[in-house]
Structure 1
Amino acid sequence: MADVRATAPPNLRRHLRDPVVHLTVRATLAATLSYAAAVALHTSPAPLTAPLTALLVVQVTVYSTLTTSVRRVNSVVVGVLIAIAFSAVTGLSWWSLGLVILTSLIIGQFVRVGEFVNEVAISAMLVLGVSQLAAQAWDRVLETLIGAVVGLAFNLLFAPPVWVDTAGESIEDLARRARHLLLGIAEQLPRPTPVARAAARLHEARALDQAIAEVDAALRQAEDSLRLNPRISEGVLSRLVLRTGLDTLEICVVVIRVLARSLTDLAKRRGEDEELFPPDEALALGELLGHVGDALVSFSVLVTTQVSRNAEAAELRLAGELAAAHAVRDNVANLLLARVQRHPHAWQLHGALLAELDRVLDELDLEHRSRRLMEELDRETVARRDRLTVPHRLRRLLGG
């Protein structure tokens, strides 16, 4: 697969790296193998439960496959036990079927089967409705185990990719979109800006804020791919670096949205033919926005770059952008102060713009990031140590 990706055209390589493509191929192969294994073991004339289980449990990461396998097997076993208990007492009728479904759904909420709550009731109904209860119950449990074992073994023998690069690309894309927005805002500063145009920038900032959910989903997938992966030795550090980096970018994106809102309010106070700022202030503020945008991209490159791949160069670029931004920021502060002293009109909006840019620069500060990362590492170390204690294991066992 690696050789194919290396020699494939760029578009094909992008499709080969798509998690959906990996999941489709893996699920198909695992389901086929599980059906062949169930047929070889003569579990039933048509052992379709095995490939069905494989389809459900095979995920794009080893960790998610393992957890899904456990929940799936757990749900089937619980459903079979409920069916056996009811068959010995009530048999099959309309009221007993309803009672079985109700009982299965209630018990499924307490046995930690996750999204497979309905599978408890399905297994109970299928087993309850057959004439040879014991044989059918055993066949369904065995086929479920075959599908889960084949799906898990498939992902262990052919380990799924580590999706860190995909999450890193999502984080960098988010930073570049934020930079593009800041540059667009800078372009409208020295010219008359209708309220509709300023509101369009605010809408773009809100869309950028909403895109964080997609990046967070890609990052959660990357975090799962680092767990239980034999090819990764520093999974915790990589996960925390990406997570803290996304948290910082999320704060910056929220502040940028507030900045766009302040500019929209300022445009409402200006006339349709009046520029937002005079030329000297617009030039300095636009330069500051450009440096902030470049710093956001440099920060995203830093948090997504491996230590062995020019992380030091990325840190130097970020430090240079932050230094340039702080130098321009002082000039902007002096210009805005002089303007407010001459024309106090809308002084609070001018102060808000400066405060919002200060907040972004503070979040991107290297010392601030190092301190945040060390705090998260300490918190993770304490949490891992607590997970090894006997009281914690008892709480997990009891569902607490």
Structure 2
Amino acid sequence: MRDARVVLSAPVAEFVKRGREPVVTQTLRSTAAATISYVVAVRLSSEPAPLTAPLTALLVVQVTLYSTLTTGIRRVNAVVAGVLVASAFSVLVGLTWWSLGLIILASLVVGRIVRVSEFVPEVAISAMLVLGVPRVASTAWDRVLETLIGAVVGLLFNFLLAPPVWVATAGESVEGLARRMRQLLLRIGEGLTEPIPVEHAASRLHEARRLDHDISEVDAALRQAEDSVRLNPRVKEGLLHRVVLRTGLDTLEICTVVLRVLARTLTDLAKEREREALFAPEVGAALQELLGLVADAVVSFAVMVTTDVTRSAETAEARLAEDLDAARASRERLAGLLLAEVRRDPEQWQLHGALLAELDRILDELDLEHRSRRLMEELDRASREQRERHPRLTAAWQWGRRKFTRRGR
């Protein structure tokens, strides 16, 4: 009986867990907002099927409150501009092939003028839909009304039910990138005491280049997270969250570039030593050890960057400090071994020096003091730019946050 309860409770627990994910929450929010806007539009609009309202609400209720505000304003501007263009053309000309071409051209130009960004085609679509009906005047204003209903419902929906915060999702993406970098570093350290085919070394170089695509995906997730904490009342330190994750990704991106150069150096060394071991046994073992320690430090850095709780952050920081200390000690042993090997065979001394310089650059980027200094600089810069760009909005938002905090107490 007990086993049966465990079997039955497992799917329920999984369903509850999935229901808390931001993607599921966003799907439910969008569906509810579209349905409510349709119900309101049926009562207020004279159209038999006012589908423009739920369509607008569906597009306005974006994944973040910040993008909801900006998207709603641009979409309403796009529809109103299209309706005005169609109304003007309906007075002058009817619907013919050449007037359709003119209205599309005029709508796209007007869309650029009013700066509706990605909703420029919406201006032309609204104009064509309105121009193609017999009662242009009533249909035009019905379409404006439906758009306003959908936009207002979407905005109110996001104000009353705050959108999910995507910081955790972006943090998972950052950690995933760090773990892929770790796996590549470990693979680069394999077989260093044996002859390595050039094709094998080149495959590691191609793998390092593919990390650029991973960087782009993580950057997209991070931009979404940055928008989710803007103007969100559930986030107390929105700027801090944005800067911590952004600077962390910048550091990993620099390390990715250096990692690609490191793979290039080993590929060049493999070309020079096609029929002999890449390194002597002692040197190869020391380099493999160092690459493993650097790989662990990269993951520890990502965990530290994506950790919110103070105690967990201190633990992650201590772990990173231990990894960096071990890596620096290993680096000193490797430097001595490489120096002895260069003295015996100075032919590829520049490649050995490049290896040390590239590993030093990664360790320097992961350094805690370097991280703290960079973080403070970015926080100061971001705060200064925000105050200079929107002084009144910043003051009003800070006043509202203080009121909200006092009520919460």
Q: Deviations over 1:174-199 (max 9, x none)?
A: 11111111111112212221112212
Task: Give the equivalent residue in structure 2 for 1:266.
Answer: 269
Counterpart-to-counterpart distance in 2, 1:31 and 1:230? 23
Task: Give the equivalent residue in structure 2 for 1:42.
Answer: 45
Task: Give the equivalent residue in structure 2 for 1:288.
Answer: 290
Structure 1 residue identity aligned to 2:233 = P
Deviation at 1:131, TM superposition (A): 2.6
What is the RMSD of the two structures over their aligned residues, measured on CA atoms?
1.9
8 A contact 2:45–2:142 mirrored in 1: no
Task: Give the equivalent residue in structure 1 for 2:233.
Answer: 230
Counterpart-to-counterpart distance in 2, 1:207 and 1:350? 25
Task: Give the equivalent residue in structure 1 for 2:222.
Answer: 219
Counterpart-to-counterpart distance in 2, 1:162 and 1:201? 36
- Counterpart pick for 1:152 among 152, 155, 175: 155
Deviates more, 1:6-15 or 1:305-314: 6-15
Structure 1 residue identity aligned to 2:178 = A
Identity of aligned residues (%): 68
Structure 2 residue identity aligned to 1:357 = L
Task: Give the equivalent residue in structure 1 for 2:366.
Answer: 364
Task: Give the equivalent residue in structure 1 for 2:350.
Answer: 348
Structure 2 residue identity aligned to 1:310 = S
- Counterpart pick for 1:385 among 371, 384, 387: 387
Alignment of 1:238-253 (within 5 A): 238-253=241-256
Q: Deviations over 1:130-153 (max 9, x none)?
A: 232221111000000111112222
Deviation at 1:307, TM superposition (A): 4.2
8 A contact 2:77–2:116 mirrored in 1: yes
Structure 1 residue identity aligned to 2:46 = T
Task: Give the equivalent residue in structure 2 for 1:331.
Answer: 333
Structure 1 residue identity aligned to 2:228 = S
8 A contact 1:209–1:257 mirrored in 2: no
SS in 2 for 1:345: helix
Task: Give the equivalent residue in structure 1 for 2:94.
Answer: 91
Q: TM-score normalised to the size of structure 1? A: 0.91
Counterpart-to-counterpart distance in 2, 1:389 and 1:110? 26
Change beyond 3 A, Cα 1:13–1:194: farther
Task: Give the equivalent residue in structure 1 for 2:145.
Answer: 142
Counterpart-to-counterpart distance in 2, 1:354 and 1:132? 76
8 A contact 1:43–1:142 mirrored in 2: no
Deviation at 1:88, TM superposition (A): 2.2
Deviates more, 1:140-149 or 1:16-25: 16-25
SS in 2 for 1:346: helix
Task: Give the equivalent residue in structure 2 for 1:184.
Answer: 187
Change beyond 3 A, Cα 1:364–1:8: farther
Deviation at 1:15, TM superposition (A): 4.8
Counterpart-to-counterpart distance in 1, 2:191 and 2:231? 50
Extract unaligned runs of 5+ from structure 2: 1-8, 393-409
Extract unaligned runs of 5+ from structure 1: 1-5, 391-400
Counterpart-to-counterpart distance in 1, 2:180 and 2:107? 48
Counterpart-to-counterpart distance in 1, 2:349 and 2:16? 53
Counterpart-to-counterpart distance in 2, 1:227 and 1:120? 28
Deviation at 1:373, TM superposition (A): 0.8
Q: Deviations over 1:179-222 (max 9, x none)?
A: 11111111221222111221221122122232111111111111
Deviation at 1:100, TM superposition (A): 1.1
Q: Deviations over 1:82-138 (max 9, x none)?
A: 112222223333222211110110111121211110110111112222232221111
Deviation at 1:250, TM superposition (A): 0.5
8 A contact 2:201–2:266 mirrored in 1: yes
Deviates more, 1:24-33 or 1:374-383: 24-33
Counterpart-to-counterpart distance in 2, 1:210 and 1:102? 37
Task: Give the equivalent residue in structure 2 for 1:164.
Answer: 167
Change beyond 3 A, Cα 1:9–1:291: farther
- Counterpart pick for 1:115 among 105, 118, 132: 118
8 A contact 1:219–1:242 mirrored in 2: yes
Task: Give the equivalent residue in structure 2 for 1:102.
Answer: 105
Task: Give the equivalent residue in structure 1 for 2:313.
Answer: 311
SS in 2 for 1:47: coil
Structure 2 residue identity aligned to 1:58 = V
Structure 2 residue identity aligned to 1:189 = L
Structure 2 residue identity aligned to 1:147 = G
- Counterpart pick for 2:61 among 58, 62, 68: 58
Structure 1 residue identity aligned to 2:300 = S
Equivalenced residue count is: 384
Deviation at 1:11, TM superposition (A): 6.2
Structure 2 residue identity aligned to 1:84 = S
Q: Deviations over 1:250-273 (max 9, x none)?
A: 00011111111111111111124x
Structure 2 residue identity aligned to 1:368 = H
